[in-house]
Amino acid sequence: MASGFIILKDGRCFARRWTGYDEIIRIAITELEQIENGKDLAEWLMLQIPNSEDDESADAGWGFHNSRIDEWINRELDLRSLTKENQKLFWRAIQKGKNKLTEQGVGYSPLSFDFFYVFYDMCERAEKGEPPLALTDWNKLADPCTEQNGPGWKK
Provide the residue type at 127 as one letter: E
pLDDT number for residue 67? 83
Question: Which is higher by pLDDT, 54 or 28?
Answer: 28
Whole-number Å distance between alpha carbons of 8 and 11: 5
pLDDT of residue 63: 84
pLDDT value, residue 65:
81
* 79 contacts 7 by C-beta, under 8 angstroms: yes
**Please, is 154 exposed, middle or buried when counting C-beta atoms within 10 Å of its C-beta (0-12, 13-18, 19+)?**
exposed
pLDDT of residue 155: 73
Q: pTM value?
A: 0.93
Condensed to tens digits (0 to 9), the pLDDT of residues 31-87 reads 999 999 999 999 999 999 988 776 777 777 788 888 888 888 889 999 999 999 999
b (16+ CB within 10 A) / e for 31-43:
bbeebeebeebbe
Tens digits of per-residue pLDDT, 113-151? 999 999 999 999 999 999 999 999 999 999 999 999 999
The predicted pLDDT at position 71 comes to: 86
